[in-house]
Amino acid sequence: MKKTIILMIKFYQTFISVILKNILGVNKMCRFSPTCSEYAKRTISKEGLFNGVKKSTMRILRCQPFIEF
């Protein structure tokens, strides 16, 4: 399960993210470093599926105009 999720994130990083950037015409759209997907990959492999997904979801939700980071 953990491996599948990480594989999916890698697929997203390699293909989907690049395609999205091309469609929307943005080069760099992250306020966080490392990017959310990279962060998700790391936390999931380090802290397990449940904690990793929880932390990454919170992080994605924080990436919006109404919350200062």
Partner 1 sequence: MGDFFNTFLNNPIINILLALYHIFSFMHIPYSLGFAIIGLTIVIRFILYPLTKSQLEASAKMQKVVPHLSKIKEKYKGDNTRIQQETMRIYKEQGINPAAGCLPVLIQMPLIWSLYYVLQRVVGFKTNLDVSGINKLAYFDFLKLHHVWNTTFFGLSLGAMPSKLMSSVGPLILLVPILTGVFQFLLSKMMIPAKTEVAILEKDIEKKTEIDKKDAGDFASAFQTQSMFIFPIMIGFFSFSFPIGLSLYWNTFTIFGIIQQYKVMGWGGLSEWIKKK
Query: Using CA atoms, how far apart are residues 37 and 56, in angstroms rounded to an integer?
Result: 8
Element counts in the chain: helices (H) and strands (E):
4, 0
Would you count residue 65 as binding partner 1 (CB under 8 A)? yes
Q: Segment 12-31, which members bind partner 1 (CB under 8 A)? A: 13-15, 18-31
- Verify binding: residue 64, partner 1, rule CB under 8 A: yes
Total interface residues for partner 1 by CB under 8 A: 30
| Site of interaction with partner 1 (CB under 8 A) | 10, 13-15, 18-33, 36, 38, 60, 62-65, 67-69
